[in-house]
Amino acid sequence: MTAALYEIETSEADDGTHQPAEALWTPAGEDAVDHGFVVHSGVYVAGISSPADDSLYPQAFIALGHHKWSELIEAAAAYMDRIHGWRTLHIYPGDDPTEGIPRIPRAVLTYGVFLRHSHPDDPCGCEWEGSWRMVWAPSTEPGAVPITAMRHLAASPAATGVPDPDHDAASATWAA
């Protein structure tokens, strides 16, 4: 996590001026579902990957709000089943099934800022059309929302960027 402000992506207009390509967004209700969140037992969950990763499968899961660890595990399994038709959280399809994964990573209670293409009601065909991203942020950041996060079992801890309460207790705590 960083204490610096997040940067809002811009695009260049025909006249050379830069315009915001995204704006603060708080995913909620059907709007969240329309943008890739799955609702399981009242928990809104989505799979995320790092921007540099081209994987078909998520490296981490985020849930809107602060939840118990067990609730996020159930919601993540439901997300993988509904989105990928994959009923287990243990390995990625095609991985070596003999490779053991010792235990499920712990869930983290933290905060993030969601940014979404700034004019979804006026399609423009630009590269950000219909997209959103999340940036880890301090709870005091304008627009920050509570998030429960957990890396996927098969993803390396460093690849996901999920905040680690053992190294930065000011920005995250372990979920119960």
Q: What is the pLDDT of residues 94-128, one digit of tens each?
A: 666 666 666 778 999 999 999 887 655 566 666 66
The answer to which of 88-92, 109-113, 150-154 has the lowest mean pLDDT is 88-92
Of residues 100, 163, 173, 128, the one with CA closest to residue 23: 128
What's the token pair of residue 124? 């423009």
Least confidently predicted of 14-23, 60-69, 102-111: 14-23
pTM of the shown model = 0.81
- Region class of 29: left (phi > 0), else alpha (psi between -120 and 50), else beta: left
Residue 69, C-beta contacts closer than 8 angstroms, at least 6 positions apart: 106, 107, 150, 175, 176
| pLDDT at residue 3, rounded to an integer | 43
In three-state secondary structure terms, 160 is helix
**Residue 94: Cβ within 10 Å count:** 7
Domain range list for the chain: 26-94+103-174
- Say how far apart CA 17 and CA 130 lie, in whole Å: 22
What φ, ψ does residue 129 adopt, rounded to 5°?
-50, 120
Backbone angles phi, psi at 125, to 5 degrees: 75, 10
The SS3 call for residue 9 is coil
| Number of CB atoms found within 10 A of residue 139's CB | 13
pLDDT, tens digit, 9 for 90 and up, residues 28-55: 999 999 889 999 999 999 999 866 566 6
Length of the chain as a residue count? 176
